[in-house]
Structure 1
């Protein structure tokens, strides 16, 4: 059976599949947005480019920051750890507020823009480490988290039938958007200009994110593009291949229900482990390259290559996962990430610069590509209506991974050296790959269990 309701002047109907899931069809993106839903890809992508600076360019700025503020290297990377904790930790509470109508997507973006900008202003003028932690770590991290979670969530809502490729593209901006700043922090960031540079970065982040966020708008709950039949999984038509490999969730899971399936906690553990490895590579590849005696061009290029591939790889695996399946793609990416840690270590030990850049390329691919896969897996498994909360729960694992990858990573390096740290990171990623094999969509044991409902009931509303 099916039900209907009216929230706009456009006719729509709600159809229910054999498992009871509701799809709202009939309204086009132009009916709701006044234009193409493509803007809900391009605007989030631009905003993600803006906030990427804090995480991916930080390693290149670390030396100057330590010198200017008289911090130890461990102090500097614990500051990044605090930023990561708040960037990841805000996703779930913000998601719950959005789903209850208390906090709109636009409000989340504008708030995030102000806080993220303030983070850089504080980092520029902080009189001590405590102020820097409060400003950059807490406020800046919270702002970046609001922007990140909102951008990822809104794309999945507007592209429920092709979320892998679209989410991957948007997620990629969070990495390669930092590339210009990586080179600026390496070649043109010193004790004489650091305040001006950081203030300009703060203005750039604030303006780019705020302007993008002004146009954010969520679709109605259960919305599905009218030109795609959500029930025809096996037919030869546009979108059917992606739907067959990654069928829609059997129902809309509340967070507590998603936790009880066991799959959400498993995703949390896998993401926590891989995020830690990824952040470790982002934080310490530049210091490792310097310690191995590589020149500044190779040092900056290795991080630039990592960021570019980290971002473009997200779009590529998103597209690939639409075609061969999200879980299969995720396992392959985690295997690559684990192997790359040993490769970076080997290249550094041998002093081979071309090989180091090659493994930086591979590490960058593995270290970013898993993010959009988890972002797409969550609504695939648990539905779109509560995705802000469900993905917020999964993504919150990054706060643990961030602490391990950056702050604890510095302590491991101090105790075991880079050999021990990179070896441990590689093993952790390989264990995460093994755990990913246990993932399965709740309520649907096998893909061949998918059956279209040939005669759905519906009710039309004008």
Structure 2
């Protein structure tokens, strides 16, 4: 599609969205992005608060390590039922519930006195994070069939980068005496912010693009049933009128889904290992505290920028090749952290963390975009939620499996295995093509 035709198509879809909303569709993405930023500390600040929590509650490292695994399981596992409900009933009630769970989770943690309370509260907060995540990502997919990569990049960038604003604050107060106040403050901000976002978010009505010349070629795309055309983007990121609207059962019958699922597990394993263990890894290899803090701070920033940059780029080039390049570079970055940490090279080590995270995080932009490209927009919430469940197994690797590797081998071996999984996922992306 020519640049002129693409611009005309964008304008037509934007005008139709404004007719439905009464204001620019970008406000939907902005609200979703703010909520994503608010819940991001659950994932990206955990490495900074687990030590004071463990000290305060007198919990062993093995017991406290289970918290992050539970977070990933509940955050990922909640998304399919959330997506299924949202596709049928809209985002508002779910988002209100998310505000209560995510905000209340941190408030409860601030007064927790037993390890089971820690597990329960972090898991409930994780469900709130899962609701916000699936609502936010699919808000972009539903309102921006023409700019999937960019708009999912905006939301997922906020999830990665938002926590960078609070990492220094958390690290400065990461003591047994200081963390309760930190958690209370974060809980109030998270809860109120999500409740405000719930008022703004809504989904487009079914068939809202009917009659639009979304192909930019003078032909109108119409929608007659679930398998008809409705102006969905093709696998190259451009909009066409021939994408079938797959339901989740149909999607499971395609080999492409299972290749992507394996890829999602592999890349998640590398990235979540890095996210959950980077401070402990740096300490274990005797890097100084400044390097460990710098790594924890730049990690979400690099992840946020990577999601936006690579997501926008994938709207312009072949998405499968973008995935391949991104995941291979992620794996090489993880390998670099091992090499530089063992050599005691602090600045290159932080640089390797940046590279690994910059190219890992785009998985959360690229995968939902490809799901929309391959399987359509109508059932995107449930479809992507099924793929996203692969994050559970990545979380198990990043927590429990890494702990096992450290016990039987070393930190270096654990990180090298994670890097290899990301590289394999990158090569697997070259096998992908749209389902027939």
Verify same fold: TM over 0.5.
yes
Give SS of 1:28's match.
helix
Counterparts of 2:119 and 2:218, CA distance in 1 = 50
Report whether the alignment pairs 1:204 with 2:204. no
Give SS of 1:419's match.
helix
8 Å CA contact retained: 2:234, 2:243:
no
Q: Unaligned regions of 5+ residues in structure 2, if any?
A: 1-11, 220-231
Q: 2:243 aligns with which of 247, 250, 253?
A: 250
Q: 1:363–1:320: structure 2 CA closer, same or farther, 3 Å change rule? A: same
- Runs of 4+ aligned residues of structure 1 deviating over 3 Å after TM superposition are 24-27, 222-228, 231-234, 239-249
Which is greater in Rg? Answer: 1
Listed as ranges, the matches of 1:138-217 within 5 Å are 139-217=124-202
1:287-342 deviation per Cα after TM superposition (whole angstroms, max 9, x unaligned): 11122333332211112111101011100011100111211101111101111111
8 Å CA contact retained: 1:242, 1:323:
no
Listed as ranges, the matches of 1:263-342 within 5 Å are 263-342=256-335
Counterparts of 1:33 and 1:242, CA distance in 2 = 28
Q: 1:244–1:146: structure 2 CA closer, same or farther, 3 Å change rule? A: closer
RMSD value, Cα: 2.3
8 Å CA contact retained: 1:25, 1:223:
no
Q: TM-score of the superposition, structure 2-length normalised?
A: 0.90
Counterparts of 1:26 and 1:54, CA distance in 2 = 34
Alpha-carbon shift at residue 240 of structure 1 (Å): 9.7
Alpha-carbon shift at residue 209 of structure 1 (Å): 1.4
Alpha-carbon shift at residue 417 of structure 1 (Å): 1.3
Give SS of 1:214's match.
helix
Aligned to 1:14: none
Aligned to 2:5: none
Listed as ranges, the matches of 1:228-247 within 5 Å are 229-230=214-215, 232=217
Q: 2:351 aligns with which of 341, 358, 367?
A: 358
Alpha-carbon shift at residue 367 of structure 1 (Å): 2.2
Counterparts of 1:279 and 1:225, CA distance in 2 = 41
Aligned to 2:339: 346
Task: Choose between structure 1 and 2: higher helix proportion.
Answer: 2
Alpha-carbon shift at residue 200 of structure 1 (Å): 0.9
8 Å CA contact retained: 1:51, 1:144:
yes
Report whether the alignment pairs 1:372 with 2:357. no
Q: 2:204 aligns with which of 211, 219, 239?
A: 219
Equivalent pairs counted in the alignment come to 413
Q: 1:397 aligns with which of 381, 387, 390?
A: 390
Q: 1:197–1:342: structure 2 CA closer, same or farther, 3 Å change rule? A: same
Counterparts of 2:104 and 2:135, CA distance in 1 = 19
Alpha-carbon shift at residue 408 of structure 1 (Å): 2.1
Counterparts of 2:353 and 2:237, CA distance in 1 = 35
Give SS of 2:377's match.
coil
Counterparts of 1:131 and 1:215, CA distance in 2 = 33
Q: TM-score of the superposition, structure 1-length normalised?
A: 0.85
Counterparts of 1:155 and 1:169, CA distance in 2 = 9
8 Å CA contact retained: 1:222, 1:385:
no
Alpha-carbon shift at residue 407 of structure 1 (Å): 2.4
Q: 1:432 aligns with which of 425, 429, 433?
A: 425
Alpha-carbon shift at residue 389 of structure 1 (Å): 0.8
Give the stretch that moved more between structures: 208-217 or 244-253. 244-253
Q: Unaligned regions of 5+ residues in structure 1, if any?
A: 1-23, 444-462
1:135-168 deviation per Cα after TM superposition (whole angstroms, max 9, x unaligned): 112x111110000000001111100011111111
Report whether the alignment pairs 1:117 with 2:110. no
8 Å CA contact retained: 1:250, 1:442:
no
Give SS of 2:28's match.
helix
8 Å CA contact retained: 1:172, 1:311:
yes
